[in-house]
Chain A
Amino acid sequence: MQRATLDLWVGIFVVMGLGALLFLALKVGNMTGLESGQTYTVRAEFENIGGLKPRAPVKSAGVVVGRVVEIGFDNQIYEALVTMRLDARYRFPKDTSASIMTSGLLGEQYIALEAGGESSMLAEGDRLKLTQGAVVLENLIGQFLYNKAEDAESKGAEGKGAAD
């Protein structure tokens, strides 16, 4: 078959298109993730997960060490059951505590792990016992208002006492 300049142009076009796809997959998307490496799964129960979503990061000291895989509801204890997959390179003690935090003021929610002091390490399928759920903004405001009212009341009582 004869080679034509047309073939060259079509070749350039196809290579460019595939290159753009590759750029989208590697540079824009997150193909290079934890999925490829060795991982282990850990579970934790939370009173309230707030806006936590599957695939949210699990961080320790600000470094991403894993991802949330699944969020379920435990009908026995009425708490959220969060399954997360951690990178096998990072081992944590058995008494590690997990809490749900928000990055920035309006940012996404993530799980923060804080290492404990025990010598035995977490293994596949373990449960984290020390957890702290998400801070719900409404509760926070409610508590603030309640404290404010209490302050005003006690101040009022003091004022009355002084007047007597």
Chain B
Amino acid sequence: MMDMPRAGLRRIGARVINSVWRIGTGTRFFALTLLHSGQSFGRFQLTVREIFSAGVLSLIIILVSGLFVGMVLGLQGYETLQTYGSEEALGVLVSLSLVRELGPVVAALLFASRAGSAITAEIGLMKATEQISAMEMMAVDPIARVVAPRFWGAVISMPLLAALFSAMGIFGGYLVGVVLIGVDEGSFWSQMQAAVDLREDILNGVIKSVVFGVAVTAIALFEGYDAPPTAEGVSRATTRTVVTSSLAILGLDFILTAFMFSGV
């Protein structure tokens, strides 16, 4: 009779201790990655290959989603603004919501599921097929050779992808608002230019996307490196990457927004 609650308690305790343990290992792994990143800049070809797989291969999904998000914003924004007779402000609505929030956040969410999961699966499988141990046997540091280039490749790609997402979204809003519905083109652009600030809005958006890039990649790399070397372990690690990094993006976004836009 007494065993039931005790076993439950023990399981909860083990989970908590295990997650604290993982946070510690993850932080140490992240610090090691930063320490061993000399090679990813010395042999930049390694990083370029990772920019290709993280950035270039994510281009299609980022561009298409950006276009459609912008088009939907244009349609919905027009419907609402029209009731107040201020449909000229459509450009402001589309550009501010994209540059400040949707660009960095949605691009990072897509990046986590497109590139983050790929990184985890790749490193997890390298571990399962003992490629990582083989590297260690040949005195090649796997963190410097495998992990750090992936980290920097993804961190470099992320702000570029977010900027492309925002630009594409604004183009989508322009297509729907100006070309399709017929909002005045001059006021669409000029009100947008009057409202969007280079430092306050665009630079803060870029900072956000860099932070999200670091968070997503660090989580993806650690989950891959930490995955149990079995088929099931890799599949679980991939799922965990997507879930954890999505939650991290949303949480970080709230914190960053509170810092950047509330104090002014």
**Interface positions of A (Cβ within 8 A of B):** 1, 6-7, 9-10, 12-14, 16-18, 20-21, 23-25, 27-31, 55, 57, 104, 106
A28 and B96 alpha carbons, distance in the complex (Å): 9
Alpha-carbon separation in the docked complex, A52 to B192 (Å): 19
Given contacts A17-B159, A28-B99, A28-B192, contact A9 B52 (CB under 8 A): yes
- Nearest first, the 7 closest Cβ-Cβ pairs linking A and B are A17-B160, A20-B167, A20-B163, A29-B198, A21-B163, A20-B164, A13-B56
Nearest residue (CB) in B for A35 is B198
A6 and B193 in contact, given A23-B167, A28-B170 (Cβ under 8 angstroms) = no
Per-residue interface assignment for chain B, residues 182 to 215, with 1 indicating a CB less than 8 Å from any chain A CB and 0 otherwise: 0000000100111011100110001000000000
Taking CB atoms and an 8 Å cut-off, the chain B residues in 156-193 that contact chain A are: 157, 159-161, 163-164, 166-168, 170, 189, 192-193
If A28-B95, A28-B192 touch, whether A9 touches B56 (CB-CB below 8 Å) is yes
Give the chain A neighbours of B206 by CB distance below 8 A.
21
Q: Which residues of A contact B164 (CB under 8 A)?
A: 16-17, 20
Closest B residue to A107 using CB positions: B86
* B55 contacts the other chain (CB 8 A): yes
Main secondary structure of the interface of B (DSSP, over half): helix
B59, A13: Cβ atoms under 8 Å?
A: yes
Q: Is the interface of A mostly helix, strand, loop or mixed?
A: helix
Query: A24 contacts which chain B residues (CB < 8 A)?
Result: 99, 163, 166-167, 170, 202
Q: 1/0 contact trace for B31-75 toward A, CB 8 Å?
A: 000000000000001001101100110010000000000000000
**A10 touching B202, Cβ below 8 Å:** no
Known contacts A29-B197, A29-B202, A30-B197; A13/B51 CB under 8 A: yes
Q: A6-B52, A10-B51 are in contact. Are A18 and B193 (CB under 8 A)?
A: no
State the Cβ distance, B45 to closest chain A Cβ, in Å. 7
In the complex, A14 Cα to B54 Cα: how many Å? Answer: 12
Q: Which residues of B contact A1 (CB under 8 A)?
A: 45
CA distance A25 to B202 in the complex (A): 7
Contacts A10-B51, A17-B157, A17-B163 known; 12 new A-B pairs at CB < 8 A = A7-B48, A10-B52, A13-B157, A16-B160, A17-B161, A23-B167, A24-B99, A28-B196, A29-B197, A30-B196, A55-B197, A57-B194
